[in-house]
């Protein structure tokens, strides 16, 4: 039943007002404010940031303020995670349960995809993300690299052939040292967007990096509006999807605060999934969107093979079922590759990214196989086998890539034909965890889609611990530039979090009966 446009608008504003009136939501707002305040300290700013002049005037320099900034961020992360846990479906915010909804809005709030008590993900994200909008990039300096790559294009240099250090100056100076002399592996659409932002900001290095948040916000908006609707279409609980994926603190911090282009990639992927769920042949349009997503970051290609199987999973391996499914899969992948190639040709950038695919792995991260290699290297070094120790990490990373390929093949055989969304969610996680480099926003590729699979409930507790570990690590690692110390602090923090939150927040954990699956075809336009 459609409601008048004016009433629908009043309901949307009511959701936003209720978000501001919820103490559970405001706790997360305080968390993002503290994270923003911490990002404006010596712990997180690049050396040439315009904020340094103000810090010098205020006397906010030195190791003391570096520690203060780190503590502010860690407290903010804790508050944001706690707010996220308080908002989970099945655990109503006490400050809203006693307040009845207006009569005309009850039915709409009951059926619209969102979280409980009349709170919806776009409204909560609007409150939490507000302090990040004009803040410098959070927990990462990647946005500064985006700006420098756009500056290269502004001067007629392809980032596939040149590097930020090729043009000394303010743009290059704000790029992290390890990326200043490397070419970019990003897709052509990402580079075109970066060039456009640099041009529109008047070639200002700081504001160019800040406004790299605009395409990221577009991706977040798409995720916030459509992911829960995809969940409803495939017969999953939209409330759970809205909470588990859309409001995940890693999305808030890394996609909105960090301005990573992964947000735009996943936004296009979610739009493609939403379109693919509509009709029998709408996967072809979804494949066009996936091709655009791959032109931002190439891992999105994996989505193309699953799109046609969402509405038409294979009934069996009989040729009469196998060949039509295989034909649709090949067709979807062909469309995505064609769109990607068209963008590469139209942009004039070509396929130079291929020569820089090893760039992310040049820096040691907390990738599981990298950590294993680091441990073995320490042992060999202790026994004096220094030559063998030097080769351990590359070998370990190569083994990790082989394991990742093996897992993808196994999942392609066992999951893709009948459970394409499970293949995507778990496949993205396998790619992220087995790759030579791992960052928190890589984990979000698969985590966003976990809420769309049957086994989603099993991942709640691992998701909470992973969120705490990754965000704590990012906060400490960037402020002190010491991965070993950051990992140690992160592990201590997660142990503390387990003591504090286990009984308080997770003791009433999810059970299968908590997840209410609506009829997949039922929809109400409010």
Instruction: Give pLDDT tens digits for 102-118.
Output: 554 455 544 444 455 55
Q: Is-contact 167 178, C-beta < 8 A?
A: no
Token output for 264: 């735009």
Q: Chain-wide mean pLDDT for the chain?
A: 82
By percentage, how much of the chain surpasses pLDDT 70?
83
| pLDDT tens column, 322-360 | 888 888 999 999 999 999 999 999 988 888 888 888 887
The alpha helices in 22-141, defined as continuous H runs, are 23-39, 51-58, 63-86, 94-97, 103-111, 121-128
| Same domain membership, residue 68 and residue 52 | yes
Q: What is the pLDDT of residue 250?
A: 93
pLDDT band at 410 (very low <50, low <70, confident <90, very high): very high
Token output for 107: 């039915």
| Same domain membership, residue 116 and residue 40 | yes
Query: At which residue do the structure tokens 């059926």 appear?
Result: 111
Q: Mean pLDDT throughout 31-54?
A: 86
Minimum mean pLDDT range among 31-40, 181-190, 304-313, 510-519: 510-519
By percentage, how much of the chain surpasses pLDDT 90?
35
- Which residue, among 260, 206, 250, has the nearest Cα to 32 in the 3D structure? 250
Number of domains in the chain: 2
Question: Over 70: is that where the pLDDT of 90 sits?
Answer: no
| Same domain membership, residue 156 and residue 63 | no
Query: At which residue do the structure tokens 């349009």 appear?
Result: 285
Question: Which has the higher per-residue pLDDT, 215 or 494?
Answer: 215
**Highest mean pLDDT of the ranges 33-47, 266-280, 461-475, 503-517:** 266-280
Q: Which of 198, 227, 260 is the last residue of a domain?
A: 260
pLDDT band at 390 (very low <50, low <70, confident <90, very high): confident
Q: What is the pLDDT of residue 113?
A: 45
Q: Mean pLDDT throughout 394-411?
A: 92
Q: What is the pLDDT of residue 74?
A: 86
336 in a structural domain: no
d(CA 46, CA 43): 9
Dihedral of alpha carbons 311, 316, 321, 325, sign: positive
282 in a structural domain: no
Q: What is the pLDDT of residue 254?
A: 93
| Same domain membership, residue 39 and residue 157 | no
d(CA 400, CA 394): 10
Q: What is the pLDDT of residue 482?
A: 60
* 432: Cβ contacts below 8 Å, ≥ 6 apart: 438, 442, 443, 445, 446
156 in a structural domain: yes
Q: Mean pLDDT throughout 62-68?
A: 80
d(CA 368, CA 443): 12
401 in a structural domain: no
Q: Mean pLDDT throughout 175-192?
A: 89
Question: Which has the higher per-residue pLDDT, 35 or 169?
Answer: 35
Q: Mean pLDDT throughout 42-70?
A: 80
Token output for 55: 């810090």
pLDDT band at 514 (very low <50, low <70, confident <90, very high): very low
Q: Is-contact 156 133, C-beta < 8 A?
A: no
| Same domain membership, residue 181 and residue 128 | no
Chain-centre distance for alpha carbon 335: 25
| Same domain membership, residue 38 and residue 127 | yes
| Same domain membership, residue 157 and residue 103 | no
* 161: Cβ contacts below 8 Å, ≥ 6 apart: 183, 352
Spell out where 44-95 has E strands. none
| Same domain membership, residue 15 and residue 87 | yes
* Range of the structural domain that residue 86 is part of: 5-136+214-260
**Highest mean pLDDT of the ranges 244-258, 354-368, 385-399:** 244-258
Q: What is the pLDDT of residue 468?
A: 82
| Same domain membership, residue 100 and residue 165 | no
Our CA angle for 446, 450, 452, nearest 5°, is: 125
| Same domain membership, residue 207 and residue 219 | no
Q: Which of 260, 287, 320 is the last residue of a domain?
A: 260
Q: Mean pLDDT throughout 119-135?
A: 87
Q: Which of 260, 292, 321 is the last residue of a domain?
A: 260
| pLDDT tens column, 197-255 | 999 998 888 999 999 999 999 999 999 889 988 998 888 888 888 888 889 999 999 99
Query: Helix, strand, or coil here: 359?
Result: coil
| Same domain membership, residue 128 and residue 63 | yes
Q: What is the pLDDT of residue 228?
A: 87
Chain-centre distance for alpha carbon 494: 21
Q: What is the pLDDT of residue 131?
A: 94
328 in a structural domain: no
Q: What is the pLDDT of residue 512?
A: 41
d(CA 267, CA 56): 39
Question: Which has the higher per-residue pLDDT, 10 or 188?
Answer: 188
232 in a structural domain: yes
457 in a structural domain: no
Our CA angle for 171, 174, 179, nearest 5°, is: 95
Q: What is the dihedral of CA 79, 473, 213, 300, to 10 degrees?
A: -120
d(CA 261, CA 253): 13
| Same domain membership, residue 61 and residue 169 | no
454 in a structural domain: no
Structural element, H or E, at residue 435: none
Query: Helix, strand, or coil here: 348?
Result: coil
Query: Helix, strand, or coil here: 439?
Result: coil
Q: What is the pLDDT of residue 12?
A: 60
Q: Mean pLDDT throughout 27-54?
A: 87
């Amino acid at each position: 039943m459609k409601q008048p446009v004016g009433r629908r608008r009043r309901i949307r504003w009511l959701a936003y007002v209720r978000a501001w009136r919820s103490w559970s939501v405001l706790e997360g707002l305080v968390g993002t404010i503290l994270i923003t305040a911490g990002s404006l300290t010596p712990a997180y700013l690049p050396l040439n940031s315009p904020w340094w002049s103000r810090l010098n005037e205020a006397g906010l320099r030195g190791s003391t303020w570096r520690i203060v900034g780190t503590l502010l961020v860690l407290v903010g992360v804790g508050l944001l995670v706690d707010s996220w846990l308080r908002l989970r479906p099945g655990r109503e915010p006490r400050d809203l349960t006693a307040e009845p909804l207006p009569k005309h809005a009850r039915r709409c709030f009951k059926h619209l995809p969102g979280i409980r008590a009349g709170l919806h993900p776009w409204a909560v994200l609007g409150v939490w993300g507000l302090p990040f909008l004009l803040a410098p990039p959070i927990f990462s300096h990647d946005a500064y690299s985006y700006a420098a790559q756009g500056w290269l294009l502004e001067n007629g240099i392809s980032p596939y052939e040149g590097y930020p250090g090729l043009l000394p100056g303010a743009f290059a100076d704000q790029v992290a040292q390890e990326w200043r002399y490397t070419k970019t592996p990003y897709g052509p659409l990402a580079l075109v967007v970066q060039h456009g932002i640099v041009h529109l900001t008047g070639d200002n290095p700081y504001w160019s990096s800040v406004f790299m948040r605009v395409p990221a916000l577009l991706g977040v908006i798409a995720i916030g509006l459509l992911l829960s609707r995809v969940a409803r279409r495939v017969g999953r609980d939209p409330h759970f999807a809205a909470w588990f994926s859309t409001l995940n603190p890693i999305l808030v911090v890394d996609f909105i605060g960090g301005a990573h282009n992964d947000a735009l990639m996943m936004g296009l992927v979610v739009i493609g999934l939403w379109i693919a769920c509509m009709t029998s042949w709408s996967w072809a349009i979804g494949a066009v969107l996936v091709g655009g997503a791959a032109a931002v970051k190439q891992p999105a290609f994996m989505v193309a093979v699953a799109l046609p199987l969402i509405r038409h999973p294979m009934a069996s391996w009989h040729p009469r079922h196998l060949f039509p499914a295989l034909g649709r899969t090949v067709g979807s992948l062909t469309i995505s590759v064609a769109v990607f190639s068209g963008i590469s040709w139209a942009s004039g950038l070509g396929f130079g990214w291929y020569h820089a695919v090893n760039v992310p792995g040049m820096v040691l991260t907390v990738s599981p196989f990298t950590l294993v290699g680091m441990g073995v290297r320490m042992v060999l070094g202790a026994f004096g086998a220094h030559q063998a120790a030097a080769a351990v990490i590359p070998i370990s990373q190569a083994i990790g890539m082989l394991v990742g390929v093996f897992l993808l093949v196994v999942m392609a055989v066992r999951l893709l034909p009948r459970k394409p969304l499970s293949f995507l969610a778990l496949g993205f996680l396998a790619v992220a965890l087995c790759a030579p480099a791992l960052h928190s926003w890589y984990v979000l590729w698969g985590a966003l889609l976990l809420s769309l699979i049957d086994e989603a409930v099993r991942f709640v507790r691992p998701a909470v611990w992973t969120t705490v570990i990754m965000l704590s690590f990012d906060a400490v690692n960037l402020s002190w530039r010491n991965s070993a110390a950051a990992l140690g602090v992160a592990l201590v923090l997660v142990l503390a979090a387990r003591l504090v939150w286990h009984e308080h927040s997770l003791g009433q954990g999810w059970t299968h009966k908590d997840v209410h699956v609506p009829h997949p075809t039922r929809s109400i336009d409010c």
